Amino acid sequence: MRIYVTEDYNAMSRRVASILAAQVILKPDCVLGLATGSTPVGAYKLLAEGYKKGDLDFSQVRSINLDEYVGLAPTHDQSYRYFMQSNLFDHVNINPDNTNVPNGLAADPAEECRRYNQVIRTLGPIDIQLLGMGHNGHIGFNEPADAFALETNLVNLAESTIQANARFFASADEVPRQAMTMGIQTIMQARKVLVAVSGKDKAAIVKKAFTGPVTPQVPASILQMHPDVILVGDKAALSEL
């Protein structure tokens, strides 16, 4: 595992954006595994700037997002489809048909998970999977569990995740209770995994995930077994490593 310690959030974002940009330049038709959350926002902004400057071309890039809330329309401002459009896709020349996020409004979420697995099988393996990390070690929406989930599956969100994400909604009651998430096996099949972390509040879980036992109770801990992981964090998030 390679670890990059940066001064602060902005420097972390620059490093994450550079790594993703390098991937797009080296393989213009690459498959990017993308993440949401507050952590990658700065990196996406820089990628959009790279496109505007003429340094990056997303015309052949394919993307697969990690997860989506069940019950939120793509136009809902807290849906992950909306997040991706407003933070990245609307600002670069990616072909909308080449972007993939589970459909939060699918009538049958279990069936939607199966469809998404098929999409991943057709496009994959993912060249580089970007990940943030929840405070309980979740990646995507793979919450602590008794076993590692394999493929895209329907999950009940942990109470701590609902509370953590309530800041984006009018109240915790409005946070969806379920989500569809890419499974751990799929994440582990990505050729490269890029983990981005920022802030003191992530320091304890970063330590647990990367130096503690590998256990489904800390989903990110499985990344210790991946042959090509890059961890980029600001010094606050990596302070306990």
List binders of ligand GLP among 130-159 (CB under 6 A).
Answer: 132-134, 140-141
Q: Report how far residue 207's alpha carbon sits from residue 186's, in angstroms, rounded to the nearest whole number.
A: 23
Site string for ligand GLP, 11-50 (x = CB under 6 A): ------------------------xxxxx-----------
**Please, are residues 225 and 214 in contact by the beta-carbon 8 Å criterion?**
yes
Please state whether 137 falls in left (phi above 0), alpha (psi between -120 and 50) or beta: left
Is residue 66 close enough to count as binding ligand GLP by CB under 6 A? yes
Q: Is 76 a catalytic site residue?
A: no
Is residue 101 close enough to count as binding ligand GLP by CB under 6 A? no
**For ligand GLP, which stretch binds (CB under 6 A), given 126-134, 209-217, 218-226, 232-240?**
126-134
Q: Whose structure tokens read 């801990």?
A: 221
How many residues at the interface with ligand GLP, by CB under 6 A? 14
**For ligand GLP, which stretch binds (CB under 6 A), given 7-15, 42-50, 52-60, 128-136?**
128-136
**Cβ distance to ligand GLP smaller for residue 44 or 51:** 44
Burial class (CB within 10 angstroms; exposed 0-12, middle 13-18, buried 19+) of 134: buried
Q: Is 67 a catalytic site residue?
A: yes
Is residue 86 close enough to count as binding ligand GLP by CB under 6 A? no
What tokens does 11 get?
A: 């420097």
Q: In what order do the strands lie in the sheet with 153-156?
A: 67-69, 178-181, 153-156
- Phi first, then psi: what are they for 228, rounded to 5°? -140, 80
Binding stretches for ligand GLP (CB under 6 A): 35-39, 66-67, 132-134, 140-141, 161, 165
Residues classed as catalytic: 67, 136, 138, 143
